[in-house]
Structure 1
Amino acid sequence: MEVEQTALPGIGLRHEFTTRSGRRIGIVSHRTGRRDLVLYDPDDPDRACETIKLNDEEADALAELLGAPRIVQRLNALHSEVEGLVSLQFPITPGSPYAGRPMGDARVRTRTGASIVAVVREGQVFASPAPDFGLLGNDVVVVVGSPESTSAVSDILSGG
């Protein structure tokens, strides 16, 4: 799929693509941080028939809803391409020694060689969380690594 990127001087950046059914969709990312979802007229791809202004929270929610299934699909495809690589999901129980602490405190990658590639919280996916990302009880971490390293992550997250 081809995504066109256009600089909008003084405004920000516009990304547009055409769906398989022929609908043109765009996202305008303003310098202020606001994003607009733009649906173009099917008969005139230069005319916007609908513009939906999204605040940060709404843009994040939309990205998570659209991105979560794609992350899982990509990880599943990666499994078939790389022998010995697995991705597993582990819950952070409320009693975990890392509930309420930054993810980096667990030093998962350093201790096991596996990587936490996402955290799922109440249906929202946080992809590539930074070490200062705070883990909460009932979060689910998505871990990628070898079977041995991901098993070690489970032990760390449950027992320290």
Structure 2
Amino acid sequence: MDCLFEMLKSIPFQDVTVQALCQKSEVPRKTFYRYFDGKEGVFDAMVDYIMLDYERFPGPYREGERRTSEKDMEKMFLFWHEHDDFLTAVSRSGLSGRFIERSIYTSFQEKLGMTMVAQQESLDWFRITTCFSMCGLFALIWDWRRRGYPQTPQEMAHIAVKLLTQPLYRSLP
């Protein structure tokens, strides 16, 4: 995963080959294929790992402090701001869509594992809200990054909470 990340800093994903990845990581191809189906599998594992890193990231919380929506959002913006090199490599390689898709899948699977959902309707609603919120938040992060991080993570957290808790439009024509 580290070697793929280093390669993505300088070359597009489409130009990465399994052979070059194996050479750089000093892993025999046979061993590589024991763990991965291809370079896409390595990328997916990289996303899974960074999502686990996010879960361990303390963010703005002090020990014992009560969780709030705004602090949760601040944690997210702080984390991704600190991982700009990862976002840049993903964006440069044209993997933003795959990254978001894998992030949603990982988040949904993790929450599903922690939540016992008795009814299919609840499961469907949970999946839909996870997709909707994750896509919107990642689009916001990508736009924030593209504009050069003009707002602080705290300001972005405030914006995100407002977007998630208030009507998007005051009135429709």
The TM-score normalised by the length of structure 2 is: 0.33
Return the structure number with greater helix share.
2
Query: Normalized per residue, which structure has more strand?
Result: 1
Structure of higher RCO (CA pairs closer than 8 Å, 6+ residues apart): 2
Structure number with larger C-alpha Rg: 1
Query: TM (normalized to structure 1)?
Result: 0.35
